Each structure stands twice: as structure tokens, then as C-alpha cells.
Amino acid sequence: MDDQTITKAVNDRYARAVTLGEQLCCPTGYNYEELRRFIPEPVLKVSYGCGTPVGLTSVQPGETVLDIGSGGGIDCFEASRLVGPHGRVIGLDMTDEMLALARAHAPTVAANLGYAASNVDFRKGQAEAMPVDDASVDLIISNCVINLSPQKSKVFHEMYRVTRPGGRFTISDIVADQPLPNYLRYDTEKWGDCLAGALSVHDYWKGLREAGFLGIHLVSALPWRVIDGIHFFSVTLAGYKLPHDTASSASCFATLTGPFPQVTDEFGQTYTRGIPERISARTATLLNLSRYRETFILSEAPIRLTTLDPRWKAVLPEERPCVWEGHFAVLTGPFLDVHDDDTHVYHSGLPVEICSKTLKVLTSALYQPYFLIMNRASQTPSSDSVICEPGCC
């Protein structure tokens, strides 16, 4: 099955959904009571995403927002409200029926918001070749759509092209804990269900980095489905396009505070907890991004930490027997790899089997934001407790 066949199957499925009111893909999580104040009911009936995009909470008035896979326009209309009358929203979709619905109701939404004219521009096109100018978008949102593309690398590169330096994305999508076998990848019905096109966490994050984005990290995740032992998750992730210029050309120092004893950033620089490392101004910009900045002290002069310093963070495993219960942990960024205090090494997007002691560490408040946890056991294991050596799992 070639890419055109997949694209046509997806397009037909969503066109049919507009006509028949069919429910697709993710369970919605919209606040319909709030949205009904300015969005017409026909638009609300064809919302197929995972809820109002988290990225819209960071929108500033006057910004330009791009919605990839805008459908009936629900997320574009919410973005329109948030950017204000002087902001701009671009909705991109490939389905004529969806575009017609969105365009028909755009004037009503603008009037309900008190705008002189609609600030939403709905465009027909595919995510692999966006009809959007270079470096023109402050924020990209996409709600459970990119997994429908058979050429995600092109989508990621297009996202980077249209994003302004200093811009960002916050997207929701379906990912898997491992690469999909061919019998699922080429199942036409499952493409419309947002399953057959799902990348593994590792490949999704890697594709975004290869396109040029940095600071890629998980915002939230929910288990979606398990098919033939493959775990699918509905995730929201964010990332950034660094500005071309930094405020200063001078280097400074970065000290890792923990909870990890060692990490490697997306530029490939390695840090050890408590030991200051000289960094460039561009690396300082990277380490000031979300998820990075919670783990570093940036300073003009080197700062060395000891275990007695209140800024030193660590979560040590308990000294007790552990149990193998079927749990696996996936590092979700932004680091390329990290170590814990029990000698485990986690690489971005790759599942690692963990015991009950490590599970308790990784689900603690300091570690939890960096990991996706799943249980692959089909039934509760009956294994006895064992005495773990350091790095047993």
C-alpha cells in the first residue's frame, strides 16, 4: 500500500465522518459548555482530537498560530479567541468537507467574539507540503493528526521551516512503545483509527530532533489501547526552535542539580551532578528551556555542589528486596540519555525493564516528569522477591 493510497483512505474516512457524524480516533476532552459560547454546534459535533491543545495556554495576544489538521475548526476558533483580533490563525486540512464546514462558520465565530472580521485562514493542503511562509508561525498545534501522515519526516521538517526562530510547538498525538509490525502498519482501517501510523516514542522524538527542534519533552500522557502486546499512548509533547542569535556571546557554567547523577543534553554535552561545566551561550539558551531548567544552575562563575547543599537532588532506591512486575520505563526527554543512582542508563524513547524499587524511584515527584511508565505483563506475575544488585534492571 503506497502513500497515496493511505492518504486517500484517511481523507475518505474523515469526509465520511463529517456526513455521518462518525466518531474517530481519540476520546475528546473539550469543555463544550465554554466553547458553545462562541462556536456553533455543527463544529463541535465533528471534533476528533484529544481535547483543547495544551499549547494554547501559552498563547500571547497578537501571535500567529498554525493548526495542522484543523478539521471543522474547533481548535482554530479557540486559538482565535486567545490571540485576539490582532493575532492570526492558520488552519490546515486536506479534506474538502472539513474545510467547507470550518469556513462556513468562521464569520459567526468572529461576530460572537466581537471581531470586525475573522482572523482565521483555513487553507487546503497536506502537512508534508504546507502552504505556509517560512518562519511565520509562533506556535504550532496539532490534535491527534500527524500520526495519519505516511511521511512524518517531511511533516517534522515542514513544521521547523514555518516556525519562527524562538517559536515552539505543542502537539497531541498517538505513539507506541515499540515499532509496529507490517500487518498493523498496512491495515487501512487502523490508519483512520490513529493506530497504524503511530511511531514509537523513540522514532517520534528522533524525527523532531532531526528536523531541528530542541527541548523536546513530554507534557502529559494517557494509555490509549493495547493491541497484540503493543501499548499505544495519547501524548502531548512540546519543543522549540532556538533563536538564531543569543543575548550574549559569552560562555557560562552549568551545574547539574539532579535528580539524575548524569545526563546528556541534545547537543551531546554530558554533565555530572554537582560538577560545573563550561557551556556556550547557545547551550545556555537550550538549558533555559522547560524540563532542562528544573535540573540546572546557570552561573557566570562555576558553582560546585555537595550532598549537603539543599540544591542537590537525589532519589535513592530502597535497601530491600524487589519484585519483577512487568513494568517498563521510557525516557521522554529532553535529554538524550540519563543515569539514575542505581546505575541504570535510559536512552531517549527506548523502553527499559524495571523492578519494583526502580519503579518507586521513577514515579517520584522529581523523576516522574521525564518518564513514561507501562506494564507489559498480560497477567499479574507470581515471582518471588529477589535481592537486586546495583543496576539489576
Torsion of CA 283, 132, 145, 16, to 10 degrees: 180
- Can you give the pLDDT at residue 20? 42
In this structure, whether the domain defined by 3-240 belongs to CATH 3.40.50.150 is answered with: yes
- Can you give the pLDDT at residue 188? 76
Cis peptide before 259 (omega within 30 of 0): yes
Domain extent listing, the chain: 3-240, 247-314, 316-393
Arithmetic mean of pLDDT, 160-189: 92
Give the class (CATH, top level) of 247-314.
alpha beta
Give the chain's mean pLDDT.
89
What confidence tens digit (pLDDT) does each residue in 199-238 have? 999 999 999 999 999 999 999 999 999 999 999 999 999 9
With residue 165 as reference, give the H or E element that holds it. Answer: strand 163-176
Arithmetic mean of pLDDT, 129-143: 97
* Exposure on the CB side of residue 132, measured as CA atoms within 13 A: 36
- Can you give the pLDDT at residue 19? 45
- Can you give the pLDDT at residue 27? 46
Same fold, 3-240 and 247-314: no
Q: Which residues pair with 150 in a beta bridge?
A: none
- Can you give the pLDDT at residue 381? 67
Distance CA 339, CA 315 (A): 12
Q: What percent of the chain has pLDDT over 70?
A: 86
What confidence tens digit (pLDDT) does each residue in 185-205 have? 888 777 666 788 899 999 999
- Can you give the pLDDT at residue 155? 98
Would you state the CATH architecture of domain 316-393?
3-Layer(aba) Sandwich (3.40)
For residues 50 and 234, the answer to whether their CB atoms sit within 8 Å is yes
Residue 232 phi, psi dihedral angles, 5° rounding: -105, 140
* Minimum mean pLDDT range among 87-101, 157-171, 236-250, 322-336: 236-250
- Which tops the pLDDT comparison, 50 or 123? 123
State the pLDDT confidence band at 134, using cuts at 50, 70 and 90.
Answer: very high
Distance CA 251, CA 192 (A): 49
- Which tops the pLDDT comparison, 10 or 279? 279
- Can you give the pLDDT at residue 30? 78
- Can you give the pLDDT at residue 277? 98
What confidence tens digit (pLDDT) does each residue in 28-86 have? 567 888 899 999 999 998 876 666 788 898 899 999 999 999 999 999 999 999 999 99
Handedness of CA 282, 283, 284, 288 (dihedral sign): positive
State the pLDDT confidence band at 152, using cuts at 50, 70 and 90.
Answer: very high
Tell me the CA distances in angstroms from 40 to 33, 37, 391, one per residue in order. 12, 8, 56
For residues 369 and 329, the answer to whether their CB atoms sit within 8 Å is no
What confidence tens digit (pLDDT) does each residue in 270-306 have? 999 999 999 999 999 999 999 999 999 999 999 999 9
State the pLDDT confidence band at 6, using cuts at 50, 70 and 90.
Answer: very low
